Structure 1
């Protein structure tokens, strides 16, 4: 039993690290996107010579930012919460509500991971490319969707385990 608990703690540490890394990469990519957009705006409106790649690369970086940072956002509890409802129920019911919403989120993200991975592989197999001058292989930007969904799925597992550990132990409460 101790080995299972130790394994669970180690997995939680690795998943939290991966999600934090994704969050950090997303933050760095925001500055990269800011630089590209600023460069594109200056080139377009000051020099009347916009780069052909600015908008497309900016879109791909935006996709990266959104999907790769999701696990870190969940880890740090920065998602939107309806406090109006949650604050009016007991602590035990709040935990059960968090477990239920996390399970629903996990199921959704697992399904999303599956279909996004299938679509990404489809893009890769048929070597589909963007129709712009860059001809970017489309599996590259699509790859961020299943990766991000997998990261958030793993973080949901960590959250669910953490919420379950907050539930009162039934043996110590006289429960059956």
Structure 2
């Protein structure tokens, strides 16, 4: 019961992060259209669009990573997984989940440390916009945390799959 509740909560957090990345994508498209219209119709350029669009792309990638991993939408070499069935397949998937979890924790720690340092030292971009760098950087540890939660969620599911197939083989 408690595992199902945690599973639902983590799924909703992953979905929320993904939907936030969709909103950021819409904003990115609108900003680029704005820039194109400004350049061609008015012969002027916005100071913020080129800088902010780079930050938005990074935000989209990190915020969507958890859900993309959950749905298997990432690039993978599934030839070995497709060759396996039962407990060995679940065990290999669990190993992959452990590796993804490790990567997410390392990336999360490093990007959190970077964003915190940027905040503490009040670092700003060197462009005219002079945006505080911690603002776009904070989406990276958030996305890494969501990816870690999704990896844990899938790890538990795959371990349960190993247990179920082992029990089925003994019966």
TM-score between the two structures when normalised by the length of structure 2 = 0.91
Instruction: Name which of 3, 26, 34 aligns with 1:8.
Output: 3
Structure 1: give runs of 5+ residues left out of the alignment.
1-5
Q: Is the deviation greater in 85-94 or in 50-59?
A: 85-94
Structure 1 residues 77-127: Cα deviation after superposition (integer angstroms, max 9, x where no partner): 222232333222233322111111110110111111111111111101001
CA contact (8 A) 2:22 2:60 kept: yes
Structure 2: give runs of 5+ residues left out of the alignment.
none
Instruction: Name which of 83, 87, 92 aligns with 1:88.
Output: 83
Partner of 1:3: none
Shift of 1:66: 0.8
Q: Is the deviation greater in 23-32 or in 164-173?
A: 164-173
Shift of 1:44: 1.7
Map 1:1-176; keep pairs closer than 5 Å: 6-169=1-164, 170=166, 173-174=169-170
| Separation in structure 2 between the aligned mates of residue 172 and residue 75 of structure 1, nearest angstrom | 26
| Separation in structure 2 between the aligned mates of residue 61 and residue 149 of structure 1, nearest angstrom | 16
| Separation in structure 1 between the aligned mates of residue 114 and residue 34 of structure 2, nearest angstrom | 33
- Flag the structure with higher helix content: 2
| Separation in structure 2 between the aligned mates of residue 26 and residue 44 of structure 1, nearest angstrom | 27
| Matched positions, count | 170
TM-score between the two structures when normalised by the length of structure 1 = 0.89
CA contact (8 A) 2:69 2:147 kept: yes
CA contact (8 A) 2:24 2:60 kept: yes
